Amino acid sequence: MEPSAAAVTRTSLASSGWFGAAAGGLAALTGWKRRGAAILLGALGALALPPVGFVPVLLIALPGLVWLLDGSPTKRAAFGAGWWWGLGWFLVGLYWIANALLIEPEKFGWMIPFATLGLSGVVAVFTGTATWATRLTRVTGMGRVPVLAGAWTVMEWARSWVLTGFPWNPLGSVWDAAAPVLQAGSLMGVFGLSLFTLLVFGLPAVLADFAPRRAKAGAVALSALLLASAFGFGAVRLAGANGDVVPDVRLRLVQPAIGQSHKWKEELREAHLLAYLTLSKAPGWDRVTHLVWPETAAPFLLDHDDHHRAQVASVAPPGGMVLTGAPRVTPQGVSPFRVWNSLMAIDGAAQLLGLYDKVHLVPFGEYVPFRAVLPAQLNIGGTDFSPGTGLRTLSLPGLPPVSPLICYESIFPAEVVGRDQDRPGWLLTITNDGWFGHSAGPYQHLAAGRMRAIEEGLPLVRAANTGISAVFDAWGRELARLELGRQGVVDSVLPKSLPPTLFAHYGNTVPLSLSLLSVVIGLGFCWVQRRIG
């Protein structure tokens, strides 16, 4: 038989003091007040995400979630605490999705509440499952925080692959502006940083418990020790960083800032290509070895279109090439007809030296899932693309081997390098962030790319249509940048790679193992507490 909310509150929360009052008040909430508080706490926590990055708000948002969980009298209520909190987190973190639907408001505007609320509600199921699983263990006291942290991290990992995956804005991404803490990603990836984050900001919730002062001081000390250790590790790792670069390589990233509403207009395609050609030949071109254009930069089928491919080739530096995004289709007469979102490497002789087809497509942006039951009109991209055969390491003249990624593919931890192929020397992301508009979306997308560089120990080069184009070294340090919405070029060296990191070797096995350990430790704390008490 489930205990009442009051009974749960009495056994886990203090009856006096500021923390006790706050915790008791949250735990005792019911109905719409409880749901509203959870949404507000999640929304507040989302202010820690890029570009705001105000991490201290998690000292309110995460203890508040723990206290709501404490006041959950049933498993269903425990799920609700996490789900409503997650709804607030994702609504604030993903509001920019509405911008994509406003490109053609007369056609897709009606979808805005369904897309923003619907997607946020679906991904919030994972946060709700984490709190439900924590409640299932019946763990109390200090142990409930490590158990919640472990369950939360496992569910973030699950979010990266269930229904093709959507690991946008994991909790660990809040450290984007804290370079030393980010370095822990080289050991345990962004999901490991999520575990770390929930422990650091969740453990102070113990201050509201009925517990000896020594136990409360221990919880706060453990939180501080974890934070200090991360900063210390990162400081030491960054102190050993160097500025080594690949010799005889100088990249030019081209950012034309073409508005999404104009990008695919038939009458403007020639003008768009001309803009790329003109920017590519801007002063300093004679010192560049390779040009990088963003996703679908060339609005023509370059593999079949000799004329426009020759135009692209005309700006390739001597002995170098143009790396550009472009659509690709099956040859005429070949069935079934298919379309790919591709990256092509074209040299000065208009030869196609390398090709990569995007593997991880965006649901409803590049294809309609469950097409048999859903209308094709739900595809805001207008065309169903086909996925490529897999991640590839391309060997191109004058460059270290490269792992290309197109847009959305850079958000998937441990899925940016073909593990069955030779290790690349760098990561290349081409993207069209024009869908996002001037919003938090491009900054969050950029932060995901930086994290992939740190996780893999590989520099990352990122060329975007409307920004943000940037170059990161293998420590995630930014070497070059062209701001959101700005037209222009940015020239940069190509940093050298590092030896494979721990995360590069073992991938998400590391954070999952740490999650299991965290749960075991949490259960152990609870067992000791019950034996003593």
What single-letter DSSP state applies at residue 175?
G
Closest CA to 41 of 95, 85, 90: 85
- Using the predicted structure, report yes or no on whether residue 2 has a pLDDT greater than 80: no
**Please, is 495 exposed, middle or buried when counting C-beta atoms within 10 Å of its C-beta (0-12, 13-18, 19+)?**
buried
Which pair of structure tokens corresponds to residue 430? 């081409």
In degrees to the nearest 10, what's the CA dihedral of 10, 12, 18, 19? -160
Q: DSSP for 347-400?
A: ETT--EEEEEE--SPPBTTTB-TTTTTS-GGG-TTSSPPPP-SS---B--TTS-
pLDDT of residue 103: 84
Q: How many residues does the chain have?
A: 533
Dump pLDDT digits (tens) for 49-71: 999 999 999 999 999 999 999 99
pLDDT of residue 380: 59
Q: Could you give the C-alpha distances from 82 to 65, 69, 203, 273, 423, in angstroms and in order?
A: 7, 8, 17, 48, 39
Residue 378 banded pLDDT, cuts 50, 70, 90: low
Euclidean distance between CA atoms 509 and 506, whole angstroms: 6
- Using the predicted structure, report yes or no on whether residue 16 has a pLDDT greater than 60: no
Which pair of structure tokens corresponds to residue 448? 């995901």
Contact 344, 355 (CB under 8 A): yes
Q: Which domains does the chain have, with CATH numbers?
A: 5-239+508-532 (no CATH), 245-495 (3.60.110.10)
pTM over 0.85: yes
Euclidean distance between CA atoms 49 and 112, whole angstroms: 22
Q: Which residue has the higher pLDDT, 174 or 369?
A: 174
Catalytic residues: 295, 358, 407
Mean pLDDT of 161-169: 95
Euclidean distance between CA atoms 378 and 384, whole angstroms: 11
Contact 152, 33 (CB under 8 A): no
Q: DSSP for 214-241?
A: HHHHHHHHHHHHHHHHHHHHHHHHHHT-
Residue 41's H or E segment, with its range, is helix 31-45
Residue 533 banded pLDDT, cuts 50, 70, 90: low
pLDDT of residue 352: 97
Which pair of structure tokens corresponds to residue 138? 């019946």
Which pair of structure tokens corresponds to residue 109? 């505007």
Euclidean distance between CA atoms 516 and 146, whole angstroms: 10
Closest CA to 334 of 304, 374, 378: 304
Contacts of 515 (CB under 8 A, 6+ apart): 149, 150, 151, 153, 154, 157, 195
Contact 440, 95 (CB under 8 A): yes
Dump pLDDT digits (tens) for 438-489: 999 999 999 999 999 999 999 999 999 987 999 999 999 999 999 999 999 9
Backbone angles phi, psi at 72, to 5 degrees: -90, 110
How many Cβ atoms sit within 10 Å of the Cβ of residue 222?
A: 17
Euclidean distance between CA atoms 324 and 341, whole angstroms: 11
Mean pLDDT of 148-177: 97
Residue 434 banded pLDDT, cuts 50, 70, 90: confident
Which pair of structure tokens corresponds to residue 116? 């923003």
Place of tokens 């919405």: 485
Dump pLDDT digits (tens) for 168-218: 999 999 999 999 999 999 999 999 999 999 999 999 999 999 888 888 999
Helix spans in 382-489 (H): 441-456
Percent of the chain with pLDDT over 70: 94
Residue 277 banded pLDDT, cuts 50, 70, 90: very high
Residue 442 CA neighbour count, 13 Å, CB half: 28
Euclidean distance between CA atoms 98 and 437, whole angstroms: 10
Closest CA to 171 of 143, 155, 190: 190
| Mean predicted lDDT score pLDDT of the chain | 92
User: How would you label 460-470 residue by residue, b for 16+ Cβ within 10 Å and e otherwise?
Assistant: bbbbbbbbbbb
**Please, is 101 exposed, middle or buried when counting C-beta atoms within 10 Å of its C-beta (0-12, 13-18, 19+)?**
buried
- Using the predicted structure, report yes or no on whether residue 127 has a pLDDT greater than 60: yes
Euclidean distance between CA atoms 457 and 240, whole angstroms: 14
User: What are 412's strand-pairing partners?
Assistant: none
Which pair of structure tokens corresponds to residue 275? 């803009």
- Using the predicted structure, report yes or no on whether residue 47 has a pLDDT greater than 80: yes
Place of tokens 């869908």: 435
Dump pLDDT digits (tens) for 315-335: 999 999 999 999 999 988 888
Dump pLDDT digits (tens) for 497-521: 999 999 999 999 999 999 999 999 9
Which pair of structure tokens corresponds to residue 383? 């065309």
User: What are 255's strand-pairing partners?
Assistant: 488
Helix spans in 287-350 (H): 306-313
